[in-house]
Amino acid sequence: MKEQEGVIKYQLKHTEKPVNEKFSFAEINAWRAIIFRLGLIGQDPGRYANLGFGNISQRLGSQGNKFIISGTQTGHIEHLSPEHYCLVVKAEPRKNRIQSRGLLKPSSESLTHASIYAQDSNIHAVIHAHSPEIWSRTAALNLPHIPAAIPYGTVEMAIAVERLFQSGSLQQTSLFTMLGHEDGVAAFGGNMQEAAWELIKCLSLAFGIEPM
């Protein structure tokens, strides 16, 4: 039985009010629009029971682990506005807890984003995409991956992300797949451009492999 996409599994303490921090949404919106047009974020009647998929985030400031992330179930919207984003004020991946503020609740994958940011202070952008092409060719592309037994949006996923970083398998690439999360791919980088380019580069390599 497949998991329902977009279900928030962590303990959430959310304050429903606008994100008022000084933050320019121009860069994150520009790259999200590109990722949307590539079909890596979006909504498709034929996939995941027609629920939106994929999300994008950016660390707030040069220090700390606060980050801006697209709100839950915004995948169908091509061009987001500031009200479609949420601020994760505090995240405790190993305790399955997130505190946030925004007019929308944070994405169901926020715990995974938080875990990635916690591994390296130089990471400032994370994209969680859905790509059947990349995901199904994990072995062929020799991609780092989270085992199929690990469900998305859980403490187990957060711990698995930590172990993946500790293993050294992400030294040559800043992307991994989540085999227990259908079509799930996470890319990250020092900025939005780096994260997006890693994702697009891997997609081009996946298209170059004969269909399975």
The pLDDT of residue 93 is: 85
Give the residue among 93, 129, 149 at the shortest CA–CA distance from 203: 129
How far apart are alpha carbons 13 and 130 in whole angstroms? 27
Exposed/middle/buried for residue 108 (C-beta within 10 Å: 0-12, 13-18, 19+): buried
Tens digit of each residue's pLDDT (9 = 90 or more) over 180-193: 999 999 999 999 99
More reliable by pLDDT, 4 or 190: 190
Q: How far apart are alpha carbons 112 and 154 in whole angstroms?
A: 8
The yes-or-no verdict on residue 199 having pLDDT over 50 is: yes
- The two tokens of residue 18 are 């606008």
Is residue 154 pLDDT above 90, yes or no? no
Which stretches does DSSP call E strand in the chain? 11-15, 55-59, 67-70, 85-92, 97-102, 125-130, 145-146, 175-178, 184-189
Q: What is the DSSP string of 173-212?
A: -SEEEETTSTTEEEEEESSHHHHHHHHHHHHHHHHTSPP-
pLDDT band at 63 (very low <50, low <70, confident <90, very high): low
pLDDT of residue 119: 94
**Helix/strand/coil (H/E/C) assignment for every residue in 97-112:** EEEEEECCCECCCHHH
Q: Can you list the domains of the chain with their CATH numbers?
A: 11-207 (3.40.225.10)
Confidence category of residue 76, pLDDT binned at 50, 70, 90: very high
pTM: 0.92
